Amino acid sequence: FKSTAGQKSYNMPQKVTESIISKQTFIEARTMPRHFNNSGSKFMSPVTQRPSAHLTLRDTRFSSSPSTMPGLHQSCRHLVRSWANQSLGAHLHNMTLSNGKLRVPQDGRYYLYSQVYFRYPSPAASEGDQRSVSHQLVQCVYKKTSYPSPIQLLKGVGTKCWAPDAEYALHSVYQGGLFELRAGDEIFVSVSSPTMVNAEESASYFGAFRLDL
């Protein structure tokens, strides 16, 4: 038969392990932020509290009355204001959006990204005119701090020569990077040619998320 002492010795490592796991679970439960999801029935994981945003271009009404900001580089001085989080896949979590600018809620390292889809309807070429139409397409990402002038973080450029007989000439500029940001900083996108920006949810977008929580 099995001895009582041997059984106790055999079960001891398992009991110690279970005790450690139970204690760790208790500590994690106490330190977890008490935020509820939309249904109010379950706690949300701390990871879901990370500031993040993915915005799509709602329309291009800004192109009819281009808006410029003081301090922006001449090559991309038109502010894109029509970002929204209402399309499928878009979201705005623990960040705020105002007049095209994303406001950073907490100090930290953030990955910023943006893509702008340029769509140029080429004019009909005159008879015998085979010259190409050249355009410089520029997209910039800036941050606005307490300093008077915005600070340029990213700049993407594409110079395209399009055949004048093409019905539409298309090009997208994408860029992204990791930056140290402070609470209260505002991030925004500007472009060179507002009349050429195309509002397509899967092609023109702007976002940010914090990495070091």
- Which of 104, 107, 62 has its CA nearest to residue 81? 62
Q: How far is CA 139 from CA 34, 84, 106, 144, 156, in A?
A: 40, 18, 26, 16, 5
Average pLDDT, the chain: 76
Does the model's pTM come out above 0.75?
Answer: no
- Residue pair 104/182 in contact (Cβ under 8 Å)? The answer is yes
What is the spatial distance between Cα 155 and Cα 186, in angstroms, rounded to a whole number? 17
Give the start-to-end residue ranges of the domains of the chain: 48-210
116, amino acid identity: V
**Which has more pLDDT, 163 or 143?**
143
Query: In sequence order, what DSSP letters do the residues of 69-135 get, joined into one string?
Result: -TT--GGG-EE---EES-STT-EEES-EEETTEEEP-S-EEEEEEEEEEEEE-PPPPPTT--PPEEE
Domain 48-210 part of CATH 2.60.120.40: yes
Burial of 135 (C-beta count, 10 Å sphere; 0-12/13-18/19+): middle
The pLDDT value given to residue 95: 96
Q: Are 100 and 157 in contact (CB under 8 A)?
A: no
For residue 91, what are the β-bridge partners? 54
Give the list of residues 6+ apart from residue 207 with CB closer than 8 angstroms, or none.
52, 53, 54, 55, 112, 113, 114
Element (H or E) spanning 4, and its range? helix 4-31
Note the pLDDT tens digit of each residue in 152-203. 999 998 877 766 666 667 888 999 999 999 999 999 999 998 888 988 888 9
pLDDT the model gives residue 194:
86
Residue 33, helix vs strand vs coil? coil
**What confidence tens digit (pLDDT) does each residue in 63-114 have?**
444 567 777 888 898 999 989 888 888 999 999 999 999 999 999 999 999 9
CB 78 within 8 A of CB 60: no
